[in-house]
Structure 1
Amino acid sequence: MFQATAYSGRKVNDYELLLKQLTALTEDERDTTANLSNASALLNQFLHDVNWVGFYLWKGNQLVLGPFQGLPACLRIDYGKGVCGTAIKTRKSQLVEDVTKFPGHIACDSASKSEIVVPLIIDNEIYGVLDIDSPSTNRFDETDREYLEKFAGIVEGFSR
Protein backbone atom coordinates (compact mmCIF):
# COMPACT_ATOMS: atom_id res chain seq x y z
CA MET A 1 0.00 0.00 0.00
CA PHE A 2 1.32 3.42 -0.95
CA GLN A 3 1.75 5.92 1.87
CA ALA A 4 2.93 9.48 1.37
CA THR A 5 5.90 10.41 3.55
CA ALA A 6 7.50 13.78 4.11
CA TYR A 7 10.83 14.29 2.40
CA SER A 8 13.87 15.27 4.47
CA GLY A 9 15.52 17.78 2.17
CA ARG A 10 18.55 15.49 1.75
CA LYS A 11 18.58 14.78 -1.97
CA VAL A 12 19.93 11.21 -2.09
CA ASN A 13 17.82 10.06 0.89
CA ASP A 14 14.72 11.64 -0.62
CA TYR A 15 15.35 9.99 -4.00
CA GLU A 16 15.72 6.62 -2.24
CA LEU A 17 12.36 7.20 -0.58
CA LEU A 18 10.86 8.24 -3.94
CA LEU A 19 11.94 4.93 -5.50
CA LYS A 20 10.29 3.01 -2.65
CA GLN A 21 7.14 5.08 -3.07
CA LEU A 22 7.00 4.38 -6.81
CA THR A 23 7.38 0.66 -6.18
CA ALA A 24 4.64 0.68 -3.54
CA LEU A 25 2.37 2.77 -5.73
CA THR A 26 2.65 0.48 -8.76
CA GLU A 27 3.35 -3.02 -7.43
CA ASP A 28 -0.27 -4.22 -7.32
CA GLU A 29 -1.47 -2.50 -10.50
CA ARG A 30 -1.04 -4.04 -13.95
CA ASP A 31 -2.45 -1.22 -16.07
CA THR A 32 0.48 0.64 -17.61
CA THR A 33 -1.43 3.86 -18.28
CA ALA A 34 -2.57 4.05 -14.66
CA ASN A 35 0.98 3.40 -13.45
CA LEU A 36 2.54 5.96 -15.80
CA SER A 37 -0.07 8.51 -14.70
CA ASN A 38 0.74 7.97 -11.04
CA ALA A 39 4.48 7.92 -11.75
CA SER A 40 4.31 11.35 -13.41
CA ALA A 41 2.14 12.71 -10.58
CA LEU A 42 4.55 11.34 -7.95
CA LEU A 43 7.55 12.91 -9.67
CA ASN A 44 5.72 16.22 -10.10
CA GLN A 45 4.94 16.26 -6.38
CA PHE A 46 8.51 15.25 -5.44
CA LEU A 47 10.57 17.54 -7.68
CA HIS A 48 10.80 21.25 -6.97
CA ASP A 49 11.25 23.89 -9.66
CA VAL A 50 9.79 21.87 -12.55
CA ASN A 51 7.05 22.85 -14.97
CA TRP A 52 6.49 19.58 -16.87
CA VAL A 53 6.90 15.92 -15.95
CA GLY A 54 5.75 13.07 -18.12
CA PHE A 55 6.21 10.35 -20.65
CA TYR A 56 6.36 10.06 -24.40
CA LEU A 57 5.74 6.55 -25.72
CA TRP A 58 7.21 5.05 -28.89
CA LYS A 59 4.52 4.30 -31.48
CA GLY A 60 5.46 3.37 -35.01
CA ASN A 61 8.38 5.67 -35.69
CA GLN A 62 7.60 8.57 -33.34
CA LEU A 63 7.34 9.47 -29.69
CA VAL A 64 3.70 10.17 -28.84
CA LEU A 65 2.54 12.13 -25.80
CA GLY A 66 1.66 9.90 -22.84
CA PRO A 67 0.64 10.56 -19.23
CA PHE A 68 2.04 13.82 -17.85
CA GLN A 69 1.68 16.69 -15.38
CA GLY A 70 1.92 20.24 -16.71
CA LEU A 71 0.71 22.44 -19.52
CA PRO A 72 -0.40 20.94 -22.85
CA ALA A 73 2.60 19.59 -24.74
CA CYS A 74 3.84 18.63 -28.17
CA LEU A 75 1.89 15.61 -29.37
CA ARG A 76 4.54 13.86 -31.47
CA ILE A 77 8.32 13.97 -31.63
CA ASP A 78 10.32 12.40 -34.45
CA TYR A 79 13.26 10.06 -33.94
CA GLY A 80 16.44 12.05 -33.35
CA LYS A 81 14.62 15.39 -33.03
CA GLY A 82 14.86 17.60 -29.96
CA VAL A 83 16.04 16.39 -26.57
CA CYS A 84 13.54 13.52 -26.42
CA GLY A 85 14.30 12.24 -29.91
CA THR A 86 18.04 12.50 -29.21
CA ALA A 87 17.63 10.40 -26.03
CA ILE A 88 15.96 7.71 -28.12
CA LYS A 89 18.55 7.89 -30.92
CA THR A 90 21.52 7.68 -28.55
CA ARG A 91 19.76 5.48 -25.97
CA LYS A 92 21.34 7.73 -23.36
CA SER A 93 19.94 10.20 -20.87
CA GLN A 94 20.15 13.82 -21.95
CA LEU A 95 20.85 16.39 -19.22
CA VAL A 96 20.48 19.82 -20.77
CA GLU A 97 21.51 22.75 -18.60
CA ASP A 98 20.23 25.39 -21.03
CA VAL A 99 17.78 24.33 -23.73
CA THR A 100 18.56 27.41 -25.85
CA LYS A 101 22.01 25.91 -26.44
CA PHE A 102 20.71 22.48 -27.49
CA PRO A 103 20.70 22.22 -31.31
CA GLY A 104 17.20 21.50 -32.56
CA HIS A 105 15.49 21.90 -29.18
CA ILE A 106 11.71 21.67 -29.54
CA ALA A 107 10.09 24.39 -27.42
CA CYS A 108 6.73 22.98 -26.38
CA ASP A 109 6.67 25.47 -23.47
CA SER A 110 8.69 28.66 -23.84
CA ALA A 111 9.03 28.82 -20.03
CA SER A 112 11.27 25.72 -20.03
CA LYS A 113 14.95 26.56 -19.58
CA SER A 114 16.51 23.17 -18.70
CA GLU A 115 15.52 19.58 -19.32
CA ILE A 116 16.39 16.01 -18.49
CA VAL A 117 15.22 13.09 -20.61
CA VAL A 118 15.74 9.42 -19.75
CA PRO A 119 15.12 6.80 -22.46
CA LEU A 120 12.94 3.82 -21.61
CA ILE A 121 14.27 0.65 -23.22
CA ILE A 122 12.58 -2.72 -22.63
CA ASP A 123 14.18 -5.94 -23.91
CA ASN A 124 16.47 -3.80 -26.10
CA GLU A 125 13.45 -2.17 -27.76
CA ILE A 126 12.51 1.51 -27.54
CA TYR A 127 9.53 2.02 -25.24
CA GLY A 128 9.59 5.79 -24.74
CA VAL A 129 11.12 8.50 -22.59
CA LEU A 130 10.71 10.15 -19.22
CA ASP A 131 10.87 13.91 -19.85
CA ILE A 132 11.19 16.62 -17.19
CA ASP A 133 11.41 20.37 -17.82
CA SER A 134 12.29 23.24 -15.50
CA PRO A 135 11.81 27.00 -15.81
CA SER A 136 15.35 27.44 -14.40
CA THR A 137 18.65 26.86 -16.17
CA ASN A 138 21.02 24.32 -14.60
CA ARG A 139 18.14 22.71 -12.63
CA PHE A 140 19.29 19.10 -13.03
CA ASP A 141 22.57 17.48 -12.00
CA GLU A 142 24.24 14.08 -12.03
CA THR A 143 22.40 12.96 -8.88
CA ASP A 144 19.10 13.72 -10.63
CA ARG A 145 20.27 11.77 -13.68
CA GLU A 146 21.35 8.78 -11.60
CA TYR A 147 18.12 8.54 -9.64
CA LEU A 148 15.81 9.34 -12.53
CA GLU A 149 17.48 6.48 -14.42
CA LYS A 150 16.68 4.21 -11.45
CA PHE A 151 13.11 5.58 -11.48
CA ALA A 152 12.93 4.78 -15.21
CA GLY A 153 14.14 1.24 -14.46
CA ILE A 154 11.12 0.72 -12.20
CA VAL A 155 8.88 2.15 -14.94
CA GLU A 156 10.40 -0.27 -17.46
CA GLY A 157 9.67 -3.13 -15.06
CA PHE A 158 5.94 -2.43 -14.76
CA SER A 159 5.63 -1.59 -18.47
CA ARG A 160 6.67 -5.05 -19.71
Structure 2
Amino acid sequence: MITNNVFDTDILVLAHKEASINYNIALKAKEYGVPRVILRLDVRDPRKRMEMEEELKIHGVEFFSMFDVNVGMLRNAIESPAAFDLLTKTEFRLNEITVTNAKYVDMMISQLPEVTQVIISRIFREHEPIIPHGTTRLELGDHLILSGSNESVEYLRTLLEINNE
Protein backbone atom coordinates (compact mmCIF):
# COMPACT_ATOMS: atom_id res chain seq x y z
CA MET A 1 0.00 0.00 0.00
CA ILE A 2 2.79 2.40 0.87
CA THR A 3 4.78 1.49 -2.25
CA ASN A 4 1.72 2.18 -4.41
CA ASN A 5 1.03 5.49 -2.62
CA VAL A 6 -2.42 4.33 -1.48
CA PHE A 7 -1.96 6.07 1.88
CA ASP A 8 -0.91 9.36 0.27
CA THR A 9 -4.41 10.79 0.41
CA ASP A 10 -6.60 12.97 2.61
CA ILE A 11 -9.46 10.46 2.70
CA LEU A 12 -9.26 6.67 2.39
CA VAL A 13 -12.46 4.65 1.97
CA LEU A 14 -12.25 0.90 2.54
CA ALA A 15 -15.27 -1.09 1.38
CA HIS A 16 -14.10 -4.70 1.03
CA LYS A 17 -16.78 -7.16 2.14
CA GLU A 18 -14.30 -8.77 4.57
CA ALA A 19 -14.35 -6.59 7.70
CA SER A 20 -10.99 -7.77 9.04
CA ILE A 21 -9.22 -6.65 5.85
CA ASN A 22 -10.77 -3.17 6.11
CA TYR A 23 -10.04 -3.02 9.83
CA ASN A 24 -6.34 -3.92 9.52
CA ILE A 25 -5.74 -1.58 6.58
CA ALA A 26 -7.58 1.25 8.37
CA LEU A 27 -5.37 1.01 11.44
CA LYS A 28 -2.24 0.91 9.27
CA ALA A 29 -3.50 3.95 7.32
CA LYS A 30 -4.03 5.94 10.52
CA GLU A 31 -0.59 4.86 11.75
CA TYR A 32 0.84 6.12 8.44
CA GLY A 33 -0.95 9.44 8.95
CA VAL A 34 -3.99 9.38 6.67
CA PRO A 35 -6.20 12.17 8.13
CA ARG A 36 -9.58 10.57 7.42
CA VAL A 37 -10.30 6.86 7.08
CA ILE A 38 -13.80 5.47 6.47
CA LEU A 39 -14.48 1.76 6.36
CA ARG A 40 -17.19 -0.78 5.86
CA LEU A 41 -17.49 -2.87 9.02
CA ASP A 42 -19.93 -5.76 8.64
CA VAL A 43 -19.28 -8.15 11.53
CA ARG A 44 -21.90 -10.69 12.67
CA ASP A 45 -20.39 -11.44 16.08
CA PRO A 46 -21.61 -8.58 18.34
CA ARG A 47 -18.71 -8.90 20.79
CA LYS A 48 -16.12 -8.82 18.02
CA ARG A 49 -17.91 -5.89 16.36
CA MET A 50 -17.94 -3.89 19.60
CA GLU A 51 -14.22 -4.55 20.16
CA MET A 52 -13.39 -3.44 16.63
CA GLU A 53 -15.62 -0.36 16.88
CA GLU A 54 -13.97 0.73 20.14
CA GLU A 55 -10.48 0.37 18.67
CA LEU A 56 -11.52 2.28 15.54
CA LYS A 57 -12.99 5.11 17.64
CA ILE A 58 -9.76 5.38 19.64
CA HIS A 59 -7.85 5.85 16.37
CA GLY A 60 -10.39 8.27 14.88
CA VAL A 61 -11.57 5.91 12.14
CA GLU A 62 -15.12 6.30 10.82
CA PHE A 63 -17.11 3.18 9.99
CA PHE A 64 -20.46 2.03 8.64
CA SER A 65 -22.30 -1.23 8.08
CA MET A 66 -24.14 -2.01 4.87
CA PHE A 67 -27.11 -3.20 6.93
CA ASP A 68 -27.39 0.24 8.59
CA VAL A 69 -26.96 2.00 5.24
CA ASN A 70 -29.70 -0.12 3.67
CA VAL A 71 -32.06 0.42 6.60
CA GLY A 72 -31.40 4.16 6.44
CA MET A 73 -32.12 4.27 2.71
CA LEU A 74 -35.34 2.28 3.18
CA ARG A 75 -36.43 4.56 6.04
CA ASN A 76 -35.70 7.58 3.87
CA ALA A 77 -37.73 6.11 1.00
CA ILE A 78 -40.71 5.55 3.31
CA GLU A 79 -40.56 8.79 5.29
CA SER A 80 -39.39 11.21 2.59
CA PRO A 81 -40.20 9.96 -0.90
CA ALA A 82 -39.33 13.30 -2.52
CA ALA A 83 -35.94 13.44 -0.79
CA PHE A 84 -35.35 9.81 -1.73
CA ASP A 85 -36.03 10.69 -5.38
CA LEU A 86 -33.41 13.42 -5.14
CA LEU A 87 -30.88 10.91 -3.84
CA THR A 88 -31.59 8.21 -6.40
CA LYS A 89 -32.29 10.10 -9.63
CA THR A 90 -29.20 10.37 -11.75
CA GLU A 91 -29.66 14.07 -12.48
CA PHE A 92 -29.80 14.89 -8.76
CA ARG A 93 -26.83 13.19 -7.13
CA LEU A 94 -25.22 14.16 -3.85
CA ASN A 95 -22.28 16.49 -4.32
CA GLU A 96 -19.69 18.06 -2.07
CA ILE A 97 -18.35 21.58 -2.43
CA THR A 98 -15.59 22.95 -0.21
CA VAL A 99 -15.66 26.67 0.50
CA THR A 100 -12.23 28.05 -0.46
CA ASN A 101 -13.37 31.43 -1.82
CA ALA A 102 -12.88 34.04 0.92
CA LYS A 103 -15.46 36.27 -0.80
CA TYR A 104 -18.24 34.01 0.52
CA VAL A 105 -16.97 33.71 4.11
CA ASP A 106 -19.55 34.93 6.62
CA MET A 107 -22.24 35.00 3.92
CA MET A 108 -25.59 33.48 4.90
CA ILE A 109 -26.63 30.47 2.82
CA SER A 110 -29.81 32.27 1.80
CA GLN A 111 -27.65 34.95 0.13
CA LEU A 112 -25.82 32.53 -2.17
CA PRO A 113 -26.59 32.94 -5.88
CA GLU A 114 -28.79 30.16 -7.27
CA VAL A 115 -29.30 28.67 -3.80
CA THR A 116 -32.98 28.10 -4.57
CA GLN A 117 -31.90 25.62 -7.26
CA VAL A 118 -30.13 23.24 -4.83
CA ILE A 119 -30.76 21.53 -1.52
CA ILE A 120 -27.94 21.86 1.00
CA SER A 121 -28.51 18.97 3.37
CA ARG A 122 -25.41 19.20 5.59
CA ILE A 123 -22.35 21.26 6.22
CA PHE A 124 -19.29 19.60 7.70
CA ARG A 125 -17.17 22.08 9.61
CA GLU A 126 -14.00 20.65 11.13
CA HIS A 127 -15.49 17.14 10.71
CA GLU A 128 -18.62 18.10 12.68
CA PRO A 129 -22.01 18.00 10.90
CA ILE A 130 -24.19 21.10 10.91
CA ILE A 131 -27.81 21.17 9.78
CA PRO A 132 -27.88 24.26 7.59
CA HIS A 133 -30.52 26.96 7.67
CA GLY A 134 -30.86 30.05 5.54
CA THR A 135 -29.13 32.08 8.26
CA THR A 136 -26.16 29.71 8.60
CA ARG A 137 -23.00 31.63 7.73
CA LEU A 138 -20.26 30.02 5.65
CA GLU A 139 -16.67 29.61 6.83
CA LEU A 140 -13.51 28.75 4.93
CA GLY A 141 -13.12 24.99 4.71
CA ASP A 142 -16.83 24.22 5.09
CA HIS A 143 -17.84 21.10 3.17
CA LEU A 144 -21.36 21.52 1.78
CA ILE A 145 -23.28 18.36 0.94
CA LEU A 146 -25.91 19.27 -1.63
CA SER A 147 -28.00 18.02 -4.49
CA GLY A 148 -29.48 19.72 -7.49
CA SER A 149 -29.12 19.80 -11.22
CA ASN A 150 -25.59 19.35 -12.54
CA GLU A 151 -25.67 22.90 -13.90
CA SER A 152 -26.67 24.49 -10.59
CA VAL A 153 -24.15 22.48 -8.58
CA GLU A 154 -21.31 23.27 -10.98
CA TYR A 155 -22.21 26.96 -10.96
CA LEU A 156 -21.96 27.05 -7.15
CA ARG A 157 -18.75 25.03 -7.31
CA THR A 158 -17.15 27.62 -9.62
CA LEU A 159 -18.10 30.37 -7.15
CA LEU A 160 -17.23 28.70 -3.86
CA GLU A 161 -14.14 26.69 -4.75
CA ILE A 162 -12.03 29.53 -6.15
CA ASN A 163 -8.93 29.76 -3.99
CA ASN A 164 -8.41 33.51 -3.58
CA GLU A 165 -7.29 33.89 0.02
Q: Provide TM-score, normalisation by structure 2.
A: 0.28
Greater relative contact order structure (CA < 8 Å, 6+ sep): 1
More helix by share: 2
- The structure with the largest strand share of the pair is 1
Greater Cα radius of gyration, structure 1 or 2: 2
